A and B are shown apart, each in its own frame.
Chain A
Amino acid sequence: MDTERIARIAGQIGVFVAFFVLWEVLVRVTGMKPVILPPPSLIFVTIVKQWPYLLQHAWPTIFAIIGGFLVAAVSGFVLAVGIAYSRWINELVYPFLIVSQVLPKIALAPLFLIWFGFGVMPKLVIAALIAFFPIVVNTARGLNSVEPELVQYMRSLGASWADIFFKISLPWAMPYIFASFKISITLAVVGVVVGEFVASDTGLGYVIEYANISLETPVMFAGIFVLSLLGVLFFLVILLLEAVTMSWQTEISETPETM
């Protein structure tokens, strides 16, 4: 590793450290009550003390994030293939997709409580719904971005639809798909937490909500910290998957713009 890179990483970590130190100092100097803003040191202690409780509630959140994301990825991919290959489906569905994107889906959360009751379903549905749109749009765009002359060449070889799709279009769309996965996994986290706020008695969203009501602000922050950590971990998993499936891409380092 070259020194320039080490310096950069050290600097990036330094910004985080500086942020927390500033926070700690500010809270102590002003004598702010932990109910309003607990210092990072107290949050850390709370995380350690409440670890079993946090972990117990982290699992439902993790499962809901994975579940919601997978539902969005699979259904989004299938619809994207339809949009990319059928003008009919494209014209029929696209306006609806746009409108459903503009709609603030979080506003539907209370409704899902009525429909699906308390528990896993509402948060999974919200997460899937939010994560769905970027995957559809980006995947369809990726599939459509294939060079037409390449398809012409494949046809001249007598290639079947499956040949063209699996050997050309799908790998071609991969950078677009992963770009959308990175957006969608973060959105799925948001969706699950909102679902837990509204309609759940498990999960980190519930922990935050409950600590809020009972004025246990340090626990609330502990929940937020663990949740942020989860979000980062999921993002890293996507990055890892991307690096594994597209090792050729990392060298070129030209990722297509995302929506």
Chain B
Amino acid sequence: MARTVPHISLRDLTLRYRSKRANVLAVDRVSLELSPRSFTSVIGPSGCGKTTLLKVVTGVLRPTSGEVLIDGKPLATRNLAGMFGYVFQRPLLLPWRTALENVALTAEVARKDLSRRDRLSEAQHWLEVVNLGGFENKLPHQLSGGMQQRVSLSRALALQPPILMMDEPFAALDEITRESLQDELLRLWGVLETTVLFVTHSISEAVLLSERVVVMTPHPGRIAEIVEVPFRHPRQENLRGSPEFALLVQDIRRQLRAKESTQAVA
């Protein structure tokens, strides 16, 4: 799959929510480079501005100051259609559509030139990519939570987005399902050549999946630390049990705790 994946730069992004009662600095001077095909996780406690940051990067929210550059050009000047694929914490499938039709929705909107048959056969392909072959005619409520999330991932992949935005996509799943989906994502990322920005509050998940972990702290939402994850891709499942893995997780946990306590004092 040869295609151009853009470079994304966040420059001094600040976002301030102003309401009658409070003046919240949700994101405070965040700068970050997302090089093509990189896998970056953003981690931090609730309220540290992770999701807000994601919304600013995708143009859903406008920053109070600072800018997002896509290949050097301001986000606002770009046509963003087809640029970002989304996977949210909840699968958000359309309950009246089968798994296949849910995935086909992407092509239905983004590529209207395709015939219905082509759309469905393509959707079939993307369902098989996430190992859901055989479930295409099931309605969402007939699928387990993990399967629904696979459909949601498949729907995002069907866009073949240069950048995949994942907002705590596995947070609502049980541990076994979560691990199998993590493995799945690792395998897919190796194949798809997509930049991934992955928001999570699980340290081990961030370490397992990403090349870089951006540690954020709340009030105001700031980057505290950017940790490079040294493990080579493709990563195997058994990485979870290795001492190096445990050490790195431990290290990031300690940093988060330290930040928390200094903040409590302040």
Which residues on A are within 8 Å of B, measured CB to CB? Answer: 147, 149-150, 152-154, 156-159, 163, 167-168, 171-172, 246, 248-249, 251-252
Does the CB pair A156–B95 fall under 8 Å? Answer: no
Closest A-B pairs by Cβ, 4 of them: A158-B81, A157-B110, A248-B96, A157-B109
> Majority SS of interface residues in chain A?
helix
Q: Mark B203-242, 1 if CB is under 8 A from A, else 0.
A: 0000000000000000000000000000000000000000
Does the CB pair B139–A248 fall under 8 Å? Answer: yes
* Binding stretch for chain A, among B21-29, B83-91, B128-136: B83-91
Q: A163-B109, A167-B105 are in contact. Are A157 and B81 (CB under 8 A)?
A: yes
Q: A158-B81, A158-B82 are in contact. Are A149 and B88 (CB under 8 A)?
A: yes
Q: How far is the CB of B126 from chain A (nearest CB, A)?
A: 14
Point out which of A158, A246, A249 has the most chain B C-beta atoms below 10 A from its C-beta: A158
Does the CB pair B159–A249 fall under 8 Å? Answer: no
CA distance A147 to B91 in the complex (A): 11
Q: How far is the CB of A172 from chain B (nearest CB, A)?
A: 8
CA distance A3 to B80 in the complex (A): 58
CA distance A171 to B60 in the complex (A): 24
Q: A149-B88, A156-B83, A158-B82 are in contact. Are A246 and B96 (CB under 8 A)?
A: yes
Q: Could you say which residues of chain B place their CB within 8 Å of the CB of A152?
A: 60, 86
Q: Could you say which residues of chain A place their CB within 8 Å of the CB of B81?
A: 156-158
CA distance A168 to B109 in the complex (A): 11
Q: Could you say which residues of chain B place their CB within 8 Å of the CB of A249?
A: 95-96
CA distance A119 to B95 in the complex (A): 46
Does the CB pair A159–B109 fall under 8 Å? Answer: yes
Does the CB pair A153–B141 fall under 8 Å? Answer: no
Q: Contact partner of B84 among A147, A149, A156, A167, CB < 8 A? A: A156
Find the B residue at minimum CB distance from A247.
Answer: B96
Does the CB pair A157–B95 fall under 8 Å? Answer: no
Q: How far is the CB of A246 from chain B (nearest CB, A)?
A: 7
